[in-house]
Amino acid sequence: MRMLLTSSGIRQGPVQDALVDLLGKPLADSRIVVVLDAILPFPGDKSLMLKHLEQHRSLGWAEFDVLSLFSGPRSVIESRLRSADVVLCYGGSNHWLAHAWTATGLAPVLRELLDEKVYVGISAGSMIFSRLHAAAVDAFDDHEEVQMLQLASVAPAVPLFDWFVLHHLGAAFLPDNPVDWAAEGAVRLGAPVWFLDDDSALLIRDPGADPEVVSGGHWLRFDGSGRLVDSR
């Protein structure tokens, strides 16, 4: 398994270096497919998304594909996913992204891809593997988004981890006192919570082991009692 769970994608520095190491070859010799479903339910201007995608495209891939899991027959989407070296799931709603994988019947394919490809998650794309997915709705008061998406229930696309990850540490749009917010959420979950800034990522080779932190920035780790147990 080769997973890179990022807050803001592939940035020059430790995160990009880790990706190249996982690939075992240059980006110029690698194909990437970007799954956009997490961002698609939200209305409004998408200029920032396009800028972000262009930043990733400009890294110089052999092929840069973009798709929605709902954008064609399952066999066609599966073929495009399997032809890539890197499967990147863009940010937005982790709830809708997990739903998209399961509703299209492609969640079992994703599980296979995790053993065959390099998986990169951006924010929500990094949040669809926790067994605590549903519990986190209560722990971090995410009910409004679930209601907006008209989802009767939420669940991980592929349940792998017994911890949860939060993103964009330091961002202005987070709740007041974001460290307290994360710590209190960890208490409600009763499980470890990682909190990453946009220059940090978690590298996963074994889902049963602790992730490795890859960072040129700042990150926090809380245990299930809300105690800060590690940070940078």
- Domains of the chain (ranges, CATH numbers): 2-231 (3.40.50.880)
pTM: 0.97
- Runs of H (alpha helix) within 47-177: 47-57, 74-82, 94-103, 107-116, 133-139, 143-148
Burial of 47 (0-12, 13-18, 19+ CB in 10 A): exposed
User: CA-CA distance, 9 to 7, in Å (whole number)?
Assistant: 6
**Token pair of 89, please?**
């799931």
The one-digit pLDDT tens for each residue of the chain (232 residues) are: 999 999 999 999 999 999 999 999 999 999 999 999 999 999 999 999 999 999 999 999 999 999 999 999 999 999 999 999 999 999 999 999 999 999 999 999 999 999 999 999 999 999 999 999 999 999 999 999 999 999 999 999 999 999 999 999 999 999 999 999 999 999 999 999 999 999 999 999 999 999 999 999 999 999 999 999 999 9
As a dihedral over the C-alpha atoms of residue 169, residue 174, residue 180, residue 182, rounded to 10 degrees, the angle is -60
* Residue that the structure tokens 């299209």 belong to: 104
Q: Which amino acid is at 159?
A: P
Measured CA to CA in angstroms, residue 201 lies from 19, 72, 134, 168, 194 at distances of 10, 31, 23, 11, 10
Determine contact, residues 202/167, Cβ cutoff 8 Å: no
Q: Which amino acid is at 114?
A: L
